[in-house]
Structure 1
């Protein structure tokens, strides 16, 4: 994540969110992070995997939107095509950021290097009196809810790891011209371990509310077929003939 600047009325009263900024951003995201609470809904549209967050080492939940970097098969002609839209797209281009030596643990920030905010056109963040507009208030509320959601996601990944429920896999994308793109760093649920869990551990997962997202993640893998179909419907894109999941040769939790 880029370095964030705190959003304030004093310095950014005239800021507006550029038209369709979140769609332009989404169009270049081949994976989109989800919170654990979003897995069940996300599984209706995307294949969902667990990945290691390179910034803090925690596990992250990711929805795959394309087999190729900086492409998103769910954005067509500037329109989001999925019935489900992850929360971090709905709050873009604003983020939670920690406050140094402040009374609050978090505040709202933005990437100053991004062109998603401007002072000319778009959705205003503050009114003429410097108060937050309804749009900013709604985003702020969603971001505040994400504090709890992110903690739940962290605990979800941690529990999966502790119970040995994560399996490292390589995704082999086989194109019709014979080339193969191997996507690494993905993890899914280890069904063998899940099916052999002791009753007390299954009960723990049930009480934590984790069984639903676990099974949703497994079901979401069938969305790889939908992703293949979406890819092959686009003129000019290399056609995919098959997608295979294989247990990573080094089956460790990287």
Structure 2
């Protein structure tokens, strides 16, 4: 159960947030949302797959960390084993909210029910005179990047569908111990269809800023083998 509150120095002056990574802090997840604007950073470590939403009216992009629910192969006893964490995880327990009256005015909210609310542990949000700490300023910047990325994402997914650039992925992997892991219900960029696009389509994607994220998503698939290697190391202990 979440408890979203507008973040203010008056109400949250004593709040501390844990910034380490651990299963009990909510990091034991198979995947998280990512946005095209960060595909360049995400593809350095994680496969990027696409999944249709529940209403089957659109797609979301996901950075993959494992093969089954609750499995994060990047999470170990020493924390997160990669240099970059996708924005959707890195900003927790914060989120962007809107005013009750609507409109575009943005407010930083905090989920006070999050396990990252550290009591006496963690990083302060405000200094002794109520000014945001460097940590909170960095979070606000990341929230802005993520919000901007969310706003731009529908045009990217519409372009993928317009040019029929997504194909279903069914991946079956046999591990060293003989067990089988499957990834089903996901999509990837259809490389054959991408190569067949004419110059006009390529120019349209490039002008809209979509071509680079497409290439980054394709490049990220090389990390599926890395996920398998991580899983094998886990199986072998």
Q: Could you say which TM-score interval applies, normalised by the shorter chain?
A: 0.7 to 0.9
Note if 1:138 corresponds to 2:141: no
1:31-76 alpha-carbon deviations (Å, 9 max, x no partner):
1222212212222211111123448954221111111211211122
| More off after superposition, 221-230 vs 14-23 | 14-23
TM value normalised by structure 2:
0.87
TM value normalised by structure 1:
0.82
- Residue 84 and residue 118 in structure 1: after superposition, are their counterparts in 2 closer, same or farther (change >3 A)? closer
| More off after superposition, 176-185 vs 199-208 | 176-185
- Residue 86 and residue 100 in structure 1: after superposition, are their counterparts in 2 closer, same or farther (change >3 A)? same
Q: What are the equivalent positions in structure 2 for 1:228-239 lying under 5 Å apart?
A: 228-235=228-235
Alpha-carbon distance in structure 2 between the residues aligned to 1:235 and 1:160: 37
Note if 1:202 corresponds to 2:211: no
The corresponding residue for 1:189 is 189
User: Is the 1:46–1:64 contact (alpha carbons within 8 Å) kept by the matching residues of 2?
Assistant: yes
User: Is the 1:26–1:72 contact (alpha carbons within 8 Å) kept by the matching residues of 2?
Assistant: no
Q: What are the equivalent positions in structure 2 for 1:100-115 lying under 5 Å apart?
A: 100-101=100-101, 105-115=105-115
* Superposition deviation, residue 84 in structure 1: 2.4
Alpha-carbon distance in structure 1 between the residues aligned to 2:114 and 2:128: 24
The corresponding residue for 1:249 is none
Alpha-carbon distance in structure 2 between the residues aligned to 1:112 and 1:55: 30
Q: What are the equivalent positions in structure 2 for 1:115-194 lying under 5 Å apart?
A: 115-176=115-176, 178-194=178-194
- Residue 29 and residue 197 in structure 1: after superposition, are their counterparts in 2 closer, same or farther (change >3 A)? same
1:228-250 alpha-carbon deviations (Å, 9 max, x no partner):
1111112556xxxxxxxxxxxxx
1:107-143 alpha-carbon deviations (Å, 9 max, x no partner):
1122232221133221011122222222112211221
The corresponding residue for 2:64 is 64
| More off after superposition, 114-123 vs 174-183 | 174-183
- Residue 39 and residue 14 in structure 1: after superposition, are their counterparts in 2 closer, same or farther (change >3 A)? same
User: Is the 2:22–2:28 contact (alpha carbons within 8 Å) kept by the matching residues of 1?
Assistant: no
User: Is the 1:4–1:97 contact (alpha carbons within 8 Å) kept by the matching residues of 2?
Assistant: no
User: Is the 1:22–1:93 contact (alpha carbons within 8 Å) kept by the matching residues of 2?
Assistant: no
CA RMSD in angstroms, aligned pairs only: 2.6
1:152-211 alpha-carbon deviations (Å, 9 max, x no partner):
222211211122111122222334555534332211111232122222111101112222
Alpha-carbon distance in structure 2 between the residues aligned to 1:114 and 1:56: 30
The corresponding residue for 1:225 is 225
* Superposition deviation, residue 88 in structure 1: 2.5
* Superposition deviation, residue 80 in structure 1: 1.6
| More off after superposition, 12-21 vs 178-187 | 178-187
